[in-house]
Structure 1
């Protein structure tokens, strides 16, 4: 009985440690495909995982995207996400894992399961169920507690008394323009070119919506809402977007006149369904 009691105490302490340490990380890095996948973003599972993490307040990026400046300086700000599948004949099982920059396992979710026969529905249901373990942590990034990358010792400055170092002579011989060049802060391409991210406005069935551009595509808001209800993730092919909402996954495109067209498969109807958001130009 005592052994069982101490085991419970250890497990409870470990759970608390998970919740604490996960708050230390700013970014979640999503792979383009999982080990059990046959193609990139199969059944939009990778996009769904990205959407779920963003909904919980994490900053996410695909593993081949250009990394933000702070993540380039310190890759230990990010966690590598993965999905582990252990499915049987009639049940799909999935777990979500997160590893730090040193390959240490920081988090492993509860197992999500589904008995759906259709692969896409089964994968999405199992992943969403596994993600409930992440939701339970109530993530809130704590910048001051971020893990530090291994420090790299700085090269000491060599000063020779009564002698001018060669590097100094070379620097003085270089043009003064280079010496006086101000520090350049790298910003996003749109901002550096003076172009502000787009906000587009739409109407559907008497309701109003807005589409706000971000680094990966767009966020779709209903008027008056502070949180987006769907994400449009730019596809590699260009011209189309992967549409992810809480209840639907599909493809989004813009028509010739600027309308937003969302197409998804409705299993209850056994057919593809289109939703059109009419662009508002005024």
Structure 2
């Protein structure tokens, strides 16, 4: 009975764990948000990055070549500006997500009645960043802890090692090292179901959906569905064409 209570307490502590934004060394800013039609429309990405830097963050666009020391994607936060639909009013807020898409922090909502979008967005962002500025962000040098996968906890609740298992280690081991000088290098951006791979333009080239294995994804490219698999320290997009297996090498920076 005591063991059951201890396991329940440990499980509750894992669920209740809250990550601080101070555990992340920089923020990645996308060039286009979900409600936008073009990259940096109304200079929203530019304004987001400027506000982040003003708040004390290191900030980079999603298509930027990251400097040395910033290549571990799970040490970074990913900013998303969200828009609330409102009658005769613009409402924006900012979400900070980790490398697995988990929301770490959500800002206050900025509001504006300005009719011109660029003016309204600036006013909304400035207001939303009031709550972010009040966090007094300062990187604490702590490596961001990654959430344990739910499957590990549910699969073997009676085994303590299953609760504290670190699936992230296997993910890191399975990830091939990309050649950053390759002109065809693609960059992985986290999504709710996996990742989207973008080129330097940036254009979405491929969409990935997670599977139970960290070295294999369901992949869709140009309407063709296949899998992206890690083999021999490289990634390969594999699919069938005319009943023949096609394997294409893909250079990805996660």
Question: Contact 1:29–1:79 (CA<8 Å) still a contact in 2?
Answer: yes
Q: Deviations over 1:202-241 (max 9, x none)?
A: xxxxxxxxxxxxxxxxxxxxxxxxxxxxxxxxxx8xxxxx
Q: Which residue of 2 aligns with 1:151?
A: 169
**Relative contact order, CA 8 A, sep 6+: which one is greater?**
2
Which whole-Å CA distance do the structure 1 matches of 2:52 and 2:124 have between them?
Answer: 15
- Say which SS state the counterpart of residue 101 (structure 2) adopts: coil
Q: Unpaired runs of 5+ in structure 1? A: 1-16, 156-185, 187-235, 237-282
Which whole-Å CA distance do the structure 1 matches of 2:34 and 2:117 have between them?
Answer: 16
- Say which SS state the counterpart of residue 20 (structure 2) adopts: helix
Q: Does 1:120 align with 2:118?
A: yes
Q: Deviations over 1:110-136 (max 9, x none)?
A: 111001111111111011101111001
**Cα displacement (A) at 1:153:** 9.3
| 1:119-268 alignment, distance < 5 Å | 119-143=117-141, 145-148=142-145, 150-152=168-170
Q: Which residue of 1 aligns with 2:55?
A: 56
**Cα displacement (A) at 1:152:** 4.3
Moved over 4 A (4+): 152-155
Which whole-Å CA distance do the structure 1 matches of 2:39 and 2:50 have between them?
Answer: 16
TM-aligned CA distance change 1:97 to 1:154, over 3 Å? closer
Question: Contact 1:87–1:94 (CA<8 Å) still a contact in 2?
Answer: no
- Say which SS state the counterpart of residue 35 (structure 2) adopts: coil
- Aligned residue-pair number: 138
**Cα displacement (A) at 1:71:** 2.5
Which whole-Å CA distance do the structure 1 matches of 2:66 and 2:78 have between them?
Answer: 13
Q: Does 1:26 align with 2:44?
A: no
Which whole-Å CA distance do the structure 2 matches of 1:100 and 1:80 have between them?
Answer: 6
Q: Which residue of 2 aligns with 1:11?
A: none
| 1:67-106 alignment, distance < 5 Å | 67-72=66-71, 74-106=72-104
Q: Which residue of 1 aligns with 2:36?
A: 37
TM-aligned CA distance change 1:76 to 1:90, over 3 Å? same
Q: Unpaired runs of 5+ in structure 2? A: 1-16, 147-167, 174-179, 181-200, 202-254
Which whole-Å CA distance do the structure 1 matches of 2:81 and 2:121 have between them?
Answer: 11
Which whole-Å CA distance do the structure 2 matches of 1:57 and 1:124 have between them?
Answer: 19
Which whole-Å CA distance do the structure 1 matches of 2:70 and 2:82 have between them?
Answer: 25
TM-aligned CA distance change 1:90 to 1:24, over 3 Å? same
- Say which SS state the counterpart of residue 23 (structure 1) adopts: helix
* Bigger Rg, structure 1 or 2: 1
Question: Contact 1:80–1:98 (CA<8 Å) still a contact in 2?
Answer: yes
**Cα displacement (A) at 1:151:** 2.3
- Say which SS state the counterpart of residue 106 (structure 1) adopts: strand
